[in-house]
Structure 1
Amino acid sequence: MKQKITFVLSLLFGLFFINAGLDKFFHYMPMPKDISPELMKAMGGMMAVSWLMPLIAVAEIVGGLLIILPKTRALGALIVFPVMVGIVLTNTVTDATGFPIAAVFAAVLLWIIYDNRAKYMPMINE
């Protein structure tokens, strides 16, 4: 039962990140109309660094794909972790309206990391 729940959560999490990454390249999702000026300023700053958004998009797509597959889930979680930290910080410091969703996704990612902790032990023990 736990494996099925983990797979479903990982699948939804991975698809969410793949979608977010692809949207950074193809811009097919509409922008919300009620974005705060602080968030617009922060996003403008990130977009001013020309290589940052493509890097985040590639990390989201690759990490999302890897998280879906059980064998590569631990690696995918490591790739997505810095992006998730940025999402949580943005939704904490800049505009807290998206924080509940960010908190749920952060909890899923932390659960995936905890579930794969045995795979990380060789890095820590050395």
Structure 2
Amino acid sequence: MKIVKIVICVLFGLMFINGGLNKFFNYIPVPELPADQLKVMTAMTAIPWLMPLLATMEIVGGVLIAIPKTRALGAIVIFPMMVGIVLHHIMVAPEGIIMAAVLFLINVWVIADNSSKYKPMVS
């Protein structure tokens, strides 16, 4: 089971690292977006510091979650972005909800698996 957790967390982390790097270097072609998704993208890019912040947090969170010693911190760093991703797919792009839900569940699983590490923060 430990090997499965390591593989899942490394792949999860790599997905976020890839997403963050793509925000900086734009190496994945963007398909033609429907009007409502284009509106969201335009709004997000109108704030000049938002995309670099998201990209940096995705890269940092992805690296942290891929390393077993820092996995608990990485899961917390990624969690707000996962909430945003899930909400985006619920409200704007329902065709991607299955992948978003699977990633969200992995993130929640990692948080639950490391719950003892969070106890000092809330006690």
| TM exceeding 0.5 | yes
Deviation string, structure 1 residues 6-61 (Cα, Å, up to 9, x no partner): 1011000000000000000000001123x321111011101101100000000000
Q: Identify unmatched segments of 5+ residues in structure 2.
A: none
Does the CA-based 8 Å contact 1:36-1:95 persist in structure 2? no
SS in 2 for 1:85: helix
Residue identity opposite 2:120 in structure 1: P
Give the corresponding residue for 1:90.
Answer: 88
Deviation string, structure 1 residues 74-123 (Cα, Å, up to 9, x no partner): 00111111111111111111121111110110011011101100101111
1:1-126 → structure 2 map (5 Å cutoff): 2-33=1-32, 35-125=33-123
User: 2:69 & 2:116 partners in 1: Cα distance?
Assistant: 13
Q: Identify unmatched segments of 5+ residues in structure 1.
A: none
User: 1:59 & 1:3 partners in 2: Cα distance?
Assistant: 26
Residue identity opposite 1:31 in structure 2: V
RMSD value, Cα: 0.8
Does the CA-based 8 Å contact 1:20-1:60 persist in structure 2? yes
Residue identity opposite 2:103 in structure 1: F
User: 1:118 & 1:16 partners in 2: Cα distance?
Assistant: 26
Identity across matched positions, percent = 50
TM-score, L = length of structure 2? 0.97
User: 2:15 & 2:97 partners in 1: Cα distance?
Assistant: 16
User: 2:62 & 2:23 partners in 1: Cα distance?
Assistant: 14
User: 1:18 & 1:52 partners in 2: Cα distance?
Assistant: 17
- The ranges of structure 1 where at least 4 consecutive aligned residues each deviate by more than 2 angstroms after the TM superposition are none
Q: Give how far 1:5 is off.
A: 1.1
Query: What is the aligned residue count?
Result: 123
